Amino acid sequence: MALVNMRDMLEHAYRNRYAVGGFDLVGLDFLEAIIAAAERQRAPIILSLAESHFEYYDFELAMAATVAAARRSRVPVAIHLDHGASLESAVRGINLGCTGVMVDASTHPFEENIARTRAVVDMAHGCAVPVEGELGYVAGVEGEDAEKHPGEVIYTSPEEAAEYVARSGVDFLAVSIGTVHGRMAGEPRLDLERLAAINERLGIPLVIHGGTGLSDAQFRALIERGVTKINYYTALADAAAARMRANAGADPRAGYTGLMKGVRAAIADEVERCIELWGGAGRADAVLAEARPWHEVEHLIVYNLNEAGEARVADMMQEGRKVLSAIPGVRRVFTGDAVTAGAPYRHCWLVRFASEAVIPTYRDHPAHRAFADTLFRPVAGDRISIDYIAVEDPPAGA
Ligand code: 13P
């Protein structure tokens, strides 16, 4: 299990002046390539899933694969929701397995950005999940030509950044200092003095969006001034597309697998180049030693029902699965009936939490209280429960 606390991971990078890549993935090829590159470089890595990409893949299915890949990896991994648009997006991301979330309310006025971000922070911190906020505006669209989306870049002001971080409670701040999302014509002009001033005032890990197209020297200058997470996508997508175009050129009759040959390697090469350039190579063991491992916790109740409860057990379980699984930090809800006749307990709940921090959050949540106090406890006086860290080894051969 190489999922680690993302806050600890980025604190390590911040203290040791290197940056971890937040690489957006849009499919299994990206996922496998990014993990393989990080393992070859022995580097910590952030697997990022951007809400703007959800039209290209099924987020729920992609998360299942991402969590599985992170668990069996041999380097420290965090799973991040990139550009989450709302509180609901953040809850969905955490409940599907994200261990960090970004709330992007940067297009809203200052006060509203703070209020929307604060709501996500309050929810996410109740699950021990750190939050990235954005102040200022980074224009452009990932994967496209930046000139096609010329939107006005709004630079982050150091004074406003200090107030924003204090009032919103974010753990990491995405800043706007001249980068844009997507493919750029020429090198962007970065306001490094502004970045240095923000870093001096805040002293927390800073994030750069729109990593594609920056020069080696620019990356180094960013990292020297507190940038600890670099979001990167377009260059990976372009490397994949170039390989597919070459495959199509070499064999115009190539089918899907023919077109995809070498795509993973092309993505992985670019990820490795970034990892080396950003200083993450060889850091995995130090991060694994320092960062808290990310453990899910399971809440198990075995119980017997009185006669009234037995009469409507199926409805009660169905209602519980629905309301409890919507609570922030609840990864899964299982219900069960004993299959052996003589079992001393006839029924069970198994509620999987994103982390240990969710135990009190869940206990005190109004939806849990309402369900437990009205539908469950009155009919289930005979019950025992346990909360435990769920330990699982990677599948044999992984
Ligand atoms: P690029 O696509 O420009 O690398 O930016 C990625 C990004 O910032 C994702 O949030």
Mind listing the pLDDT tens digit of every residue in the chain (398 residues)? 699 999 999 999 999 999 999 999 999 999 999 999 999 999 999 999 999 999 999 999 999 999 999 999 999 999 999 999 999 999 999 999 999 999 999 999 999 999 999 999 999 999 999 999 999 988 777 777 766 666 677 899 999 999 999 999 999 999 999 988 888 777 788 999 999 999 999 999 999 999 999 999 999 999 999 999 999 999 999 999 999 999 999 999 999 999 999 999 999 999 999 999 999 999 999 999 999 999 999 999 999 999 999 999 999 999 999 999 999 999 999 999 999 999 999 999 999 999 999 999 999 999 999 999 999 999 999 999 999 998 887 777 66
Q: What is the residue with the minimal CA distance to atom 1 of ligand 1?
A: 210
Q: Which residue from 34, 212, 218 has its CB within 8 A of the most atoms of ligand 1, so it is best to mutate?
A: 212
Q: Is 330 within 8 Å of 95 (Cβ atoms)?
A: yes
Ligand 1 binding site (Cβ under 6 Å of any ligand atom): 24, 50, 82-83, 142, 181-182, 209-212, 231-234
Task: Please write down the long-range contacts of 136-139, taking CB distance under 8 Å and 24 or more positions apart.
Answer: 136/106, 136/175, 136/176, 136/177, 137/106, 137/107, 137/176, 138/106, 138/174, 138/176, 138/179, 138/180, 138/181, 138/209, 138/210, 139/180, 139/181
What are the residue numbers of the active site?
82
Q: Is 134 within 8 Å of 116 (Cβ atoms)?
A: no
Q: What is the residue with the minimal CA distance to atom 5 of ligand 1?
A: 210
Q: Is the dihedral of CA 41, 63, 50, 16 positive or negative?
A: negative
Q: What is the residue with the minimal CA distance to atom 9 of ligand 1?
A: 231
Q: In angstroms, what CA-CA distances link 313 with 28, 298, 306, 347, 373?
A: 40, 22, 10, 9, 15
- Closest CA relative to residue 10, chosen from 216, 124, 174: 174
Q: Which residue from 80, 82, 231, 238 has its CB within 8 A of the most atoms of ligand 1, so it is best to mutate?
A: 231
Name, in order, each residue with C-beta under 8 angstroms of 308's C-beta and a sequence gap of 6 or more: 379
User: Which atom, in ligand 1's list, is nearest to the CA of 179?
Assistant: 3
Q: Which residue from 51, 207, 234 has its CB within 8 A of the most atoms of ligand 1, so it is best to mutate?
A: 234
Ligand 1 centre distance from Cα of residue 231 (Å): 5
Q: Where does 278-338 have alpha helices with state H? A: 284-290, 307-311, 313-325
Q: In angstroms, what CA-CA distances link 64 with 36, 67, 68, 87, 145?
A: 18, 5, 6, 21, 31
The secondary element (H helix, E strand) that includes residue 270 is helix 263-277
pTM of the model: 0.96
Q: Which residues pair with 329 in a beta bridge?
A: none
